[in-house]
Amino acid sequence: MPKIIYEEHNGTRHEIDVPAGTSLMQGAINHMVPGIEGDCGGLCACGTCHVYIDPQAQSLCGEADELEQGMLEFAFDVDANSRLSCQIEATEAMDGMVVRMPARQY
């Protein structure tokens, strides 16, 4: 089971074991990690699970599809490393990956 490191905007880290096949959003919600809200329940319909993926880990996450890219337009402080965590499934290759959160959602 990969260990994902969720880092809040203030630098607080949460190391969570996320079962492979589980979305990074659901892994955070299951462990009550602050900063990922997931208001739509993972349906890629709200943008409240916005995270930043380090450039060296982006290849592990696949490409954002058109729907995700559209939803990111509504997220706060989007940059080139932005993704919606509901659209990324954990894999064993992600063990130790750091997922950073913005200062706020919306």
**CA–CA dist 100, 98 (Å, integer):** 6
pLDDT at residue 106 is higher than 90? no
- State pLDDT tens for residues 7-59: 999 999 999 999 999 999 999 999 999 999 999 999 999 999 999 999 999 99
The string of pLDDT tens digits covering residues 61-83 is 999 999 999 999 989 999 999 99
59 exposure class (CB count in 10 Å sphere: 0-12, 13-18, 19+): exposed
pTM above 0.85, yes or no: yes
According to CATH, the superfamily of the domain at 3-100 is Beta-grasp domain (3.10.20.30)
The share of the chain scoring above pLDDT 70, in percent, equals: 100
Backbone dihedral angles phi then psi of residue 56, each to the nearest 5 degrees: -70, -15
Which residues, in sequence order, are bridge partners of residue 85? none
